[in-house]
């Protein structure tokens, strides 16, 4: 192999394979490509600006969704979440978006299409995965944590509605100091999907009932769940 690569010091075997500048409608980014033995596929770190490495960094863990992001499917909110995350990072002038090859919550594109077919018969997104022989959510976040560690990031403000991502990073040694909700809206076609994510997967549409106790909302206000007393955390992310 002619390209130089380095092995990251992390719990999973992660290699940084390539990097270049990336110009987007959201501004200039540094694009890094990673490869992992633990989770084969091409993992991307999309980095904007610079950040003090001892301070929490705004981070989004985003699972690939070809149907929602490329084909414009209205059956999910993945494309909208991706754009909201980029907008949040742009408004802060710094942050990291990890684009992870986890199509269909980790079941792959072919099985995701099979799950779509089952959903046409009335089962929800969770039950469809189960009928295909998978767990409701097959994703793991050790590789994501390894990439963040390679970037020198040990604490984050995580753009997510999914508590599993918080737990997944913390299990692998990355501290989640605050949750920043991703705000999207139902479109009439994805209401059933969003309801299943909330009721069956525990996704959080709002800022209550989440661990860790400090949650940062899109307008820059943190709510301490334990005592209900809000505290200003700085400027807005949207």
- By annotation, the residues acting in catalysis are 137, 139
Give a three-class secondary structure readout of 64-108. CCHHHHCCCCCCCCHHHHHHHHHHHHHHHCCEEEEEECCHHHHCC
How far apart (Å, rounded) are the C-alpha atoms in residues 5 and 202? 38
Q: What is the b/e burial string over 202-217, where b = at least 16 CB atoms within 10 angstroms of the residue's CB? A: ebbeebeebebebbbb
Question: Any idea which residue has 């295909």 for tokens?
Answer: 132
Give, for 177, the enclosing helix (H) or strand (E).
strand 175-180
């Amino acid at each position: 192999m002619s390209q130089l690569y380095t092995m990251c010091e992390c719990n999973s075997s992660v290699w940084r394979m390539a990097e270049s500048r990336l110009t987007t409608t959201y501004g200039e980014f540094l694009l890094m490509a990673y490869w992992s033995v633990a989770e084969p596929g091409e993992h991307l770190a999309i980095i904007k600006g610079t950040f003090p490495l001892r301070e929490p960094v705004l981070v989004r863990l985003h699972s690939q969704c070809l149907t929602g992001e490329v084909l414009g499917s209205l059956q999910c909110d993945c494309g909208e979440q991706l754009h909201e995350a980029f907008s949040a990072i742009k408004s802060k002038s710094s942050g990291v978006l990890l684009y992870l090859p986890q199509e269909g919550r980790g079941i792959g594109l072919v099985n995701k299409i099979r799950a779509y077919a089952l959903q046409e018969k009335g089962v929800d997104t969770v039950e469809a995965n189960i009928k295909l022989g998978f767990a409701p959510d097959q994703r793991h976040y050790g590789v994501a944590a390894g990439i963040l560690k390679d970037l020198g990031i040990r604490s984050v403000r995580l753009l997510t509605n999914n508590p599993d991502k918080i737990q997944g990073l913390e299990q692998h040694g990355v501290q989640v100091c605050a949750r920043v909700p991703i705000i999207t809206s139902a479109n009439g076609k994805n209401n059933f999907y969003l309801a299943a994510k909330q009721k069956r997967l525990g996704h959080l549409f709002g800022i209550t009932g989440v661990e860790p106790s400090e949650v940062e909302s899109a307008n820059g206000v943190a709510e301490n769940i334990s005592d209900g007393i809000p505290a200003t955390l700085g400027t807005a992310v949207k």
